[in-house]
Amino acid sequence: MGAWRVLRALACTLVGIYLIAPLAIVLVISFSSASFLRFPPPGYSLRWYANLMNDPAWLDAIGVSLQVLLPTAFLSTALGTAAAYALVRGRIRGGGLIGAFLLTPMVVPSIITAAGLYMLYRWLGLNGTLPGLVIGHVVVTLPYVVATVGSALRSMDPRLEAAASVLGATPFAAFRRITLPLLAPAVLSSLLFAMVLSFDELIISLFVGSARMRTVPVQMWSNIRGDFDPTVAAIASLCFLVALIALGCEALLRRRNGEKE
């Protein structure tokens, strides 16, 4: 019995270390004083963070990422919520097929989606434009919104909407007063998740972006391929921090809602 327990604890610890080690190494290197990647670093400094803040290429990339991420998250959440509602509650002929189709970007390798978008954009003249990037990011984040909101809708008692209707609520009033508030946690968590996904997205941005339209991951990618210094580790650590904050918000939201539910 005892031996089994020790073994289990050991296994969990090892898996934990395996998962965290890369992050920890990146985090440590971002504070390195050396201008080459070495672990453990010979000394510590904030010079790579300073470098990040002074390098217009990185600042531009952060700007582009934010310009893409915000409209992407809102568009994707609004469209995804509407689509999920129509698919789950509406009586649409071929709804299952449409639902599966909406989810394809989740399973199709993103390089295929990216290549397809690139060719389509060439024709539409959208390559290297902000709308082009936003549309591309909406395509890849939408499936997550549809899945999250759809599953929340499916677990919501449809009798609540029926009750609202009998009590005198028009379909719109019932959606606004009953369905939407009950879906709020799922909608907000989709919004956060879409932001994180968009901020993290590389392949689409690589294909449909341009030298002037570079998101943070694209900038990281090109930096790594050139002579790369610990600035990448600094930005990676910042990304990690942002993701952590988003996850924290999500958990808080869930907690608050769990108390209300």
Helix (H) or strand (E) holding 25: helix 2-30
Indicate whether 177 belongs to the interface with other proteins (CB under 8 A).
Answer: yes
Q: Which of 103, 106, 115, 169 binds other proteins (CB under 8 A)?
A: 169
- For other proteins, the closer CB: 12 or 167: 167
Q: Which of 14, 19, 163, 245 binds other proteins (CB under 8 A)?
A: 163
Q: Which of 10, 50, 112, 160 binds other proteins (CB under 8 A)?
A: 160
Nearest C-alpha neighbor of 89 from the set 141, 156, 144, 185: 156
**Minimum separation from the CB atom of position 165 to other proteins (A):** 4
Indicate whether 168 belongs to the interface with other proteins (CB under 8 A).
Answer: yes
**Minimum separation from the CB atom of position 172 to other proteins (A):** 11
Q: CB under 8 A: which stretch of 175-183, 189-197, 212-220, 227-235 binds other proteins?
A: 175-183
Strands, DSSP E only, in 8-92?
none
Burial of residue 125 (CB within 10 Å: 0-12, 13-18, 19+) is exposed
Contact 124, 188 (CB under 8 A): no
Residues in CB range of 246: below 8 A, 6 or more apart: 192, 193, 195, 196
Torsion angle of C-alpha atoms 175, 178, 184, 186, degrees rounded to 10:
-80
- For other proteins, the closer CB: 159 or 225: 159
Q: CB under 8 A: which stretch of 90-98, 110-118, 160-168, 193-201 binds other proteins?
A: 160-168
